[in-house]
Structure 1
């Protein structure tokens, strides 16, 4: 039975990594019917928006998308396409694995963390205004529903994936209403999962502990802002953003994408690392019930990196984006 998937190449170097990931997925033999759609800065001139209605309609139809990175202006311009997609499809759970691979030189070995980040609330809800010309205000929004469903998702994920521990990340010592509610709910839900070890950590202490003893942690469940920061920190522990995939899971669909940016400075040079996009495609296949194919991709990526013969520039090699993808296909 064919799976229907929306394919969004993205901006900058996005089309290069997504083309590589698509080729790897097709090499597994899983029947995917791709429906290409577009999003990003390049769409503004044609559609007047970085997120055309046609793209939203395609994702609504397929329920699943594999997406490349898109540019987000800093300080001015349109709001994030990623944030808009998460709100449109209520993609409340952002799942970001961070895992060390033999062959990648890092400060640590045997890291295998998963960050489960709330994806629709917190400061990213975009509730902000200028109070006067010298004062800006941004509202930190937490709801009980939002807290409960992301925390429960983290515990269910831990059970499903054979994980042992869930850590709730917060700043409840200062933000006693918002983060205090998040922590209280985490403690209550933890009682329903006695087989999973539970603890909590203030976010600043969490960052310190992660760079000292990352092996002490398994699944981290975080509000939106902390999850964004902590997941990039964890990416740094395992070799960088080029190696880290993500899944955005929600009520009305799922979107899979590398967490790195669009890298416009190297667009068209065919040297961007496609590992994160390929591993995002692996997460997508697992979501579609194609667990064997998903596992085969991850094992192939691990083999290629471990052998060290075909690596992109950021990993210390000279291979192009396409050459790395071909090596993964050969290793499948």
Structure 2
């Protein structure tokens, strides 16, 4: 029996989510086997997603969020598939879990892996490594609003979508970003808003950022409007370290960062309950990609990188570092999936990562 067993809720979801989650679990099982009893993983699989919706009329069980509370972590594939509107699939599963468990901090590293063709003009792309910190519980994804006046006839309907910014929610994500910056070689936090045009919620954000920054005199800061920051991602990525932004802005900027690094397929993320009062959820940034589902060509790197974030959160920091190193070794050897210019399929690249994991372990 292992010294420590982690209970993981596995939600493969839709499309390629089922394929990449399978490969991530292979990596986790390999690590557990190599630990020689130090730790083990116990998985419970949940069939929630669009197929479940088409059969049951809901994306997950009514008590699905409560079922998640007893796990150490949640490992999530992807959500969305033709036949189910995207807003139904997203709000019915992923956002329901994030909000229901108050996973208020989302982190999305942007890393330029060796051997991966990048989309940026920089003399040393492999030196670039920054992290997006996304407010994950309110902001533009609060779900406040509605539609009305359908009775006015065609063209007369009105839709209202409100963003919610609370001082509590804003302060805790900004402090999280500053605390994270203190763990990095370069201690810097960049705040991103659009406070010139959004004069209430984002001015509040700016004011809270300025106040919190005073408690971290050792951390460098700067502030950008989101449109200028999008350009800065492209023109001066070397200035970036920890970037904190609202739910919507960090969502968009993280996709931009991943695309610059080569592909959304390599991007990992974590939806964190930082005080561990509830389990955190780990997922790749990419979607369910129904156009390539079932073909065996999906890139599992983002999902395996998300497993590394999960390992780190569970206290297995050495194992997390090994996984990240094995990923870098694999891409550096030119073993790439089609989305990043290679020919390896989903299983082959995972095989290479596992092989390099064993190599990393021997060298350690």
TM bracket, shorter-chain basis: over 0.9
Partner residue, 2:7: 4
How far 1:78 moved relative to its partner?
A: 4.8
User: Is the 1:163–1:219 Cα contact (8 Å) retained in structure 2?
Assistant: no
Alpha-carbon spacing, 1:331–1:79, altered in 2? closer, same or farther (3 Å): closer
- Inter-CA distance 194–19: structure 2 relative to 1 (3 Å threshold): same
User: Residues 125-173 of structure 1: CA distance to partner in whole angstroms, max 9, x if unpaired?
Assistant: 1112224333221111111111011101111111234441000100111
Q: How does 1:87-236 map to 2 (within 5 A)?
A: 87-106=99-118, 107=120, 108=122, 109=125, 110-132=127-149, 133-236=156-259
Residues 192, 77 of structure 1: alpha-carbon distance in 2 compared, 3 angstrom cutoff: closer
Cα deviation, 1:234-284, whole Å, max 9, x if unaligned, reads 111111110100000024220000010001111111100000000000000
**Equivalence for 1:31:** 40
Cα distance in 2 for partners of 1:97, 1:111 equals 11
Structure 2, gaps ≥5 residues long: 33-38, 150-155, 358-364
**CA RMSD, Structure 1 to Structure 2 (Å):** 1.6
Q: Could you tell me whether the CA contact under 8 Å between 2:11 and 2:76 is conserved in 1?
A: yes
DSSP 3-state at the match of 1:62:
coil
1-structure distance, mates of 2:85, 2:45? 27
Whose radius of gyration is greater, 1 or 2?
Answer: 2
Alpha carbons of 1:304 and 1:165: their partners in 2 closer, same or farther (altered >3 Å)?
same
Deviates more, 1:119-128 or 1:213-222: 119-128
**SS of the residue 1:319 aligns to:** coil
Gaps of 5+ in 1: none
The TM-score with structure 2 as length reference comes to 0.87
Q: Deviations over 1:188-214 (max 9, x none)?
A: 111111111011111111111111011
Distance 1:294 1:218, change over 3 A: same
* Residues in 1 aligned to 2:87 and 2:62: alpha-carbon distance in whole angstroms: 23
Q: Does 1:278 align with 2:287?
A: no
Hey, what does 2:95 align to over in structure 1? 83
Greater length-normalized contact order (CA 8 Å, ≥ 6 residues apart): 1
From the superposition, tell whether residues 226 and 237 of structure 1 become closer, same or farther in structure 2 (CA, over 3 Å).
same
Change (3 A) 1:330 1:120: same
The residue that corresponds to 1:56 in the other structure is 65
Distance 1:222 1:324, change over 3 A: same
Shift of 1:303: 0.3
| Maintained 8 Å contact 1:111/1:214 | yes
SS in 2 for 1:148: helix
- Of 290, 297, 306, which aligns to 1:264? 290
Inter-partner Cα distance in structure 2 for 1:75 and 1:295: 35
Q: Distance in 1 between matches of 2:199 and 2:257?
A: 26
Q: Which residue of 2 aligns with 1:327?
A: 352
What SS does the aligned partner of 2:65 have? helix
Count of aligned positions: 331
- Could you tell me how far apart the structure 1 residues matched to 2:203 and 2:224 are? 12
1:40 counterpart residue number: 49
Distance 2:56 2:183 in 1: 42
Indicate if the aligned counterparts of 1:96 and 1:115 stay in contact, CA closer than 8 A. yes
User: In structure 1, how many angstroms separate the alpha carbons of the residues matched to 2:267 and 2:109?
Assistant: 7
Q: TM-score, normalised by structure 1?
A: 0.95
